[in-house]
Amino acid sequence: MFKLVVDDEISLYLVNEAFTERYVELLEENNEYLSEWLEWPGFCKSQNDFKEFVKESLHKYADGKAMTCAVEFRGQIVGNCGLNAIHHPLKMVEMGYWIGKQYQGNGIITRVCRYLIDYAFTKLGMEKVQIAAAENNRPSRAVCERLGMQLEGIITHREKVGDRILDHAIYGIHKAKT
């Protein structure tokens, strides 16, 4: 099984069907919380929905277009983080993440993102990592700022979540030139 060790508490696993039951549990426990900023909880409810997500994610990975990982913290799957889009011609990746509310405050996503940024630069030869966060999603934007990412701008009308149209703050970090 594809596994990346972030540190002594966190590992990343390429998504697979073995995680679908846990994803359903996490969604049931965190539906209201996740639905505030993410569109997918509105249409991804069952284990079959998550199996389709895994199947699509693995096809994108095989094609070199994405790398979606389950986040394991202290032996428990707590969320997802990945390179949602890998743009080889642009040498740029778009990263995204979510985590159960009960696991916030442990630095999990910041550590995972720091690891994946380094992975994108050193293993994939990318030159830029970008994260889009809803403009008013302060916790997600704080992750970007802790990572030393620069706010590149606000894109209006970027996503519809529930009945709200959200603007996104776009953050980027570039590989250091040596």
Which domains, and CATH codes, for the chain?
A: 3-131 (3.40.630.30)
* Full DSSP string of 108-148: HHHHHHHHHHHHHHHTS--SEEEEEEETT-HHHHHHHHHTT
Share of the chain above pLDDT 70, in %: 99
Which tens digits make up the pLDDT trace of 87-123?
999 999 999 999 999 999 999 999 999 999 999 999 9
**Listed residue (100, 102, 123, 137) closest to 175, CA to CA:** 123
Cα→Cα distances 18→11, 47, 54, 120, 169, Å: 16, 10, 10, 26, 34
Rounded to two decimals, what is the model's pTM? 0.94
**How far apart are the C-alpha atoms of 10 and 167, rounded to whole Å?**
31
